[in-house]
Amino acid sequence: MSEIDLVLTACQRAADAAPAMRAADPSKLAVLLETVAAKLAEKEAEIVQIACAESHLPVPRVTGELGRTTGQLRMFANDIRQGKWSDHRFVEALPDRQPMPRPQLERSMIPIGPVAVFGASNFPLAFSVAGGDSASALAAGCPVVAKVHPAHPKTSELVGSIVSAAVFELGFPAGVFQLVSGSNEVGAALVTNPNIKGVGFTGSKAVGRHLMDIAAARPQPIPVFAEMGSINPIFMLPGALADRGEALATGYTQSLTMGVGQFCTNPGVVFGIASPEWDAFCGSVAKGVSEVPTGTMLTEDIGKSYCINSAHVLAADGVETLVKPTEAGQPGLARTTIETYLENKDLPEEVFGPFGILVTANSIEELKWLFPVLEGQLTGTIQHGTSDEELVKELVPLLEERVGRLVFNGFPTGVEVCEGMQHGGPYPASSDVRFTSVGNHAILRWLRPVTFQNAPKFLS
Amino acid sequence: MSEIDLVLTACQRAADAAPAMRAADPSKLAVLLETVAAKLAEKEAEIVQIACAESHLPVPRVTGELGRTTGQLRMFANDIRQGKWSDHRFVEALPDRQPMPRPQLERSMIPIGPVAVFGASNFPLAFSVAGGDSASALAAGCPVVAKVHPAHPKTSELVGSIVSAAVFELGFPAGVFQLVSGSNEVGAALVTNPNIKGVGFTGSKAVGRHLMDIAAARPQPIPVFAEMGSINPIFMLPGALADRGEALATGYTQSLTMGVGQFCTNPGVVFGIASPEWDAFCGSVAKGVSEVPTGTMLTEDIGKSYCINSAHVLAADGVETLVKPTEAGQPGLARTTIETYLENKDLPEEVFGPFGILVTANSIEELKWLFPVLEGQLTGTIQHGTSDEELVKELVPLLEERVGRLVFNGFPTGVEVCEGMQHGGPYPASSDVRFTSVGNHAILRWLRPVTFQNAPKFLS
C-alpha cells in the first residue's frame, strides 16, 4: 500500500474504533492511560537511549521528559476517573409549567471522534506519539492517529508499539491508536480525511497555518489546535535592573540557552529602557552567552535554519552583533533600538535556537509603540523591582492582550503541567487562544457537548 | 461616511472600549445586562408592535420572545455575578520542590475582545440585536458590534437604542455596543476587521459558510460561531405508532407548522418503517397539514424560496405529493422511499418553512443506510413505544454522532434556555459542534484563559 493508502486505512480503522471508545467507561480509559504510563516507565532505559541518540538531547533532559510524559498520562487518568471534564448538567422536567412544560434535559461532554496528532521535533516524548495531545485525546475517548516525526522515527515506533500493546492487552480495537509516517502529503491526507474530527499539532508557523487552512477548507471543517511557538518577550523594568541586574543577566542567559534554545517558550527578545544599568545588563548577557558552549541541535535542518536566521538578523541595518554564532547550536546575541526593531519586519520573527535580541527603548512611551504590532505570544514576562509598581500596572493590560501566560520575575521556559497552566496564545502563537495544549484543560479540545431530552430510563 | 467606513469606525471604537470592559467588575457588567432587560420590558408594547409589523409573527409569539430575551440577559447577569464561568484555578508555589521549584500559577477566563453579531430573521428579538449572542458576549466582557438584519431594521434600531442608553447611563464607553447596517459587504468588512475577535451568526448555510471561510482566511483567523439550521430528523419507531399513532400525527403536524415552520429546529423529515400503522400516520399527517391555514412568512424572499424549494422537492422523481403548497406560507407534505431520499442529493436539503418529507424504509436495516450520509443536525428525535427498547439502543449511538440534541418522545421545536441545553450540532448544523448558541454555556464562545505566573500582590 502507498503511504496515502495507509493513511486512509488508519483513519477508517480509527472511525470504526470510535464507538467502542465512546461506550467505554471512563475508568477503563483511565486504565488504558495508566497501562501506557507503566509500560513506558518499564522501558525507560531503552526509550531514553533511543530518544537521546535521535534528538541529541542529554540524558537528564530526556529522562525528565519521560517522567513528564508518564505524569501527563496519569494526570488525565485521574481526571477522567473523577469525571472532572464531563460537565454533566441535569435539568429536571417541569410538566406543569405554564405556558409551556419544561422537558428533562441532560447535557454532558462526549468525544469528538478520531484525532490526528502531529508531534514536535523538540519534545520526542512529551509532545509526540504518547505526549500531551495523544494522552488528552485518548482520555477524552477519541481514537488517535499519530504521525511519526521524521526527527525521531525510532523513538516514535518504540513508543507507538508500547501504546498499541496496552490497547491490545485491554481489549480495545487496534484502531484506537495508530501510527502513520511519511511525507508532507501524508500530513495533508490525515487532516483532510473525513473521518478525522480534530488535529493536534506542535511545530512551525508555516506548517501550522497550512494545516489550519486545509482543515478550514474541508467540506466539513474541523478544528486544528496548532501550537506554533513564539518569541516570548521579556520586559526588563528599571527597578528590576537596579535591584538585581547581574542575577537577571545570569538568569536570562540560562533561560535563552537552556536545551540549546529549542523550547517554544524560549525568550528570544528582551526590551529595556536606555540607562547605565541596561547597558551593564546587555554587557553581562553578552559575556555570559559568549561563554556558553555550542550544543547539538535536534536535527541538521534545524541547525542550518538557525545559522541562516541568526545571520540574517545580525546582518540587518541598525543591528549590533554582540555574540555571533559561527556554527549550528552556538548561542548568539544581537542588540538594536526599538525603532529598528519595529521598522524591520524580519526582526520579530522567531529564530528557533539559542539566539536573543536585546532591544533598547528611550522611554516607557517608546516601549509602548511595540504593543499595537506585537504578534500573539505564548508568554510575556515582566521583570520588575521595588520601584516599578505603576509601570507594571500600565503594562499588564497591554501584554495580557497579546499572550496566554504572563510571567512575573521569572523566565518563561519551564511549562508546569497542571490546572493552572495556559499554554497557547493569540495567533500566531497558537491557532485558537481559547485552548491550551499543556495541563488538565488540554482535554477540552477533544470534547463536545450533547443534550439528551427526556431520555428513557433504560438508556442510563 | 460610507457603510464600510462606518464599520471601520465602529470596530475601532469597540477595540478602544475593550479595556474598560475587561477591567469592569462582573457585577457592573451584570447591572448593564439587567438594565437592558428592564428597559426592554418597560418598552414592551412599542417593541412588540414594531417587531410584529416587521416580522409578521403573531403578538403572543413576539411577546414570549421578548420575555425570553430579557430572561437571557438576566440569566447571564446572574451567572457572572456568581463567577460561574471564570474557571479560576490557583496552583500554589512549591519553592522547595526538587528538581525544579514550582511557581505560583493562576488561570482564569478573560474576554476575547470585540465580537460581531449577525442576528437571525426568524427571531427579531431573542437572536438579534440584544439576543443570546449579544447578551453572552457582553456578559463575557466583550464589546459588541451588531449588524442590523434587513428583515427587521426598525426593531433593531429601537432595541439598539435601548442597549446604548443603558451603556451610556452606566458610564461605559459608547464602543461597548454599536449597530451597523447595510449590504453583504458590510458583513464581510465586519468579519475581516482586525479588531473583531469572534463572530456570532444565525442564518443560512450559504452565508454562514461564507463568513467561516473569510474568517479562516484572515491574517489572524478568528472563530465564527454560525448556527445554520438543519432538517431535524424524526424516527418514528413501530412501537410508538402502535401505542399512539394518531397523537403522533397531531403532534408532528403542530411541530412542523408552528410559527409557519420558521424554526431552526423545525422537523423537516420523518423516517418510518413500512406498515399499516405508518401508512395511517402518513395519512393523518397529510390530512392535518392540509387543514393548517396559510401563514405569512417572515419576508417576501423567504416566501419565494419556500415556494421554489418545496416545488423542487415535489417535482423530483419518486416523490409523491401529499399536500402541495400553492402559495408562500402554505404548509406542504411529500412522501418518498429511503432509496429515493438517499439517491437525490436535493431531498435532504432544508426547505425553510412548514414543509415535511415522510420517508419510508422497508426495515430497520434499510433505515440505517441513512447514517453514513446524514449531515450534522441540531437535533434528532426518536419516537419510541413499549416494544422499541432494543431499537432505541441501536439507534442512539448512530444518531448521537450526527446531532447536538437527542429528543425522546417529544418534538424538537421549543429550545429551553438553560444549562442543560445544547443548541449546535456537527457541521453544517453549526460551525463548531463544541459550542452552543443557546443556554448558559453560550458565554464560553467569548472567553479565553490566561495564566498569571507569580503575579505580585499589588495586582490582585
**φ/ψ (deg, to 5) at A141:** 95, 20
B447 near A CB under 8 A? yes
pLDDT at A99: 85
Best of B450, B454, B458 to disrupt the A interface (most A CBs within 10 Å) is B450
One-letter identity of residue A178 = Q
Q: Shortest Cα distance from A443 to chain B (angstroms)?
A: 12
pLDDT at A1: 81
Q: If you ran DSSP here, which 8-state letter would residue B203 be given?
A: S
Residue range A125-152, pLDDT digits in tens:
999 999 999 999 999 999 999 999 999 9
Residues A406 and A382 sit within 8 Å (Cβ to Cβ):
yes
Grid coordinates representing B344 are: 437525490
Residues A240/A245/A250/A256 CA torsion (nearest 10 deg): 50
**φ/ψ (deg, to 5) at B381:** -120, 135
One-letter identity of residue A357 = I
pLDDT at A298 over 90: yes
Grid coordinates representing B240 are: 410508538
Residue length of chain B: 460
Residues A423 and A200 sit within 8 Å (Cβ to Cβ):
no
List all residues 6 or more positions away from B21 whose beta carbon is below 8 Å from its beta carbon: B29, B111, B141, B142, B143, B172, B176
Domains and CATH numbers, chain B: 3-228+430-459 (3.40.605.10), 234-408 (3.40.309.10)
List all residues 6 or more positions away from B60 whose beta carbon is below 8 Å from its beta carbon: none
Instruction: Give the DSSP H or E segment for A145.
Output: strand A144-147
Tell me what the mean pLDDT of segment B176-189 comes to: 95
Grid coordinates representing A137 are: 485525546
pLDDT at B460: 85
ipTM of the complex in this document: 0.97
Q: Which of B89, B100, B408 sits opposite A456 (nearest CB)?
A: B408
Q: Shortest Cα distance from B89 to chain A (angstroms)?
A: 5
One-letter identity of residue B140 = A
Return d(Cα A36, Cα A16) in angstroms, integer. Answer: 22
Is A407 close to B453, i.e. CB distance below 8 A? yes
Q: What are the chain B neighbours of A406 within 8 Å (beta carbons)?
A: 450-453, 455
The model's pTM? 0.96
Residue range A335-382, pLDDT digits in tens:
999 999 999 999 999 999 999 999 999 999 999 999 988 999 999 999
Q: What are the chain B neighbours of A420 within 8 Å (beta carbons)?
A: 89-91, 105-107, 451
Is A454 close to B212, i.e. CB distance below 8 A? no
Return d(Cα B433, Cα B427) in angstroms, integer. Answer: 7
Treating both helix axes as pointing N-terminal to C-terminal, what angle do A153-169 and A44-55 enclose, rounded to 10 degrees? 150
Q: What stretches of B176-275 adopt beta strand conformation (E)?
A: 177-180, 198-202, 224-227, 234-236, 269-273
Decide the pairing of beta strands A403-408 and B447-453. Answer: parallel
Q: Which of B225, B230, B232 is nearest to B436 (CA)?
A: B225
Residue with cell 521579556: A234
Instruction: Give the DSSP H or E segment for A118.
Output: strand A115-118
- Longest alpha-carbon distance in chain B: 80
**φ/ψ (deg, to 5) at A171:** 80, 15
A99 near B CB under 8 A? yes
Task: Kindly tell me the sign of the dihedral angle through the C-alpha atoms of A334, A337, A339, A340.
Answer: negative
pLDDT at B229 over 90: no
Residues A133 and A437 sit within 8 Å (Cβ to Cβ):
yes
pLDDT at A243: 96
Return d(Cα B108, Cα A152) in angstroms, integer. Answer: 36
Instruction: Give the DSSP H or E segment for A271.
Output: strand A269-273
Is A449 close to B441, i.e. CB distance below 8 A? yes
Grid coordinates representing A428 are: 500566531
Instruction: Give the DSSP H or E segment for A381.
Output: strand A377-383
10 Å Cβ neighbour count for A120?
A: 25
Q: Shortest Cα distance from A86 to chain B (angstroms)?
A: 13
β-strand partners of B359: B271, B336
pLDDT at A229: 82
Best of B448, B454, B457, B460 to disrupt the A interface (most A CBs within 10 Å) is B448
Q: If you ran DSSP here, which 8-state letter would residue B430 be given?
A: B
Q: What are the chain A neighbours of B452 within 8 Å (beta carbons)?
A: 405-406, 408
Is B434 close to A427, i.e. CB distance below 8 A? no
Tell me what the mean pLDDT of segment A401-405 comes to: 97
Residue range B260-300, pLDDT digits in tens:
999 999 999 999 999 999 999 999 999 999 999 999 999 99
Catalytic positions of A are 227, 264
Annotation says B227 is catalytic: yes
Q: What are the chain A neighbours of B405 within 8 Å (beta carbons)?
A: 450-453
pLDDT at B183: 87
Is A405 close to B103, i.e. CB distance below 8 A? no
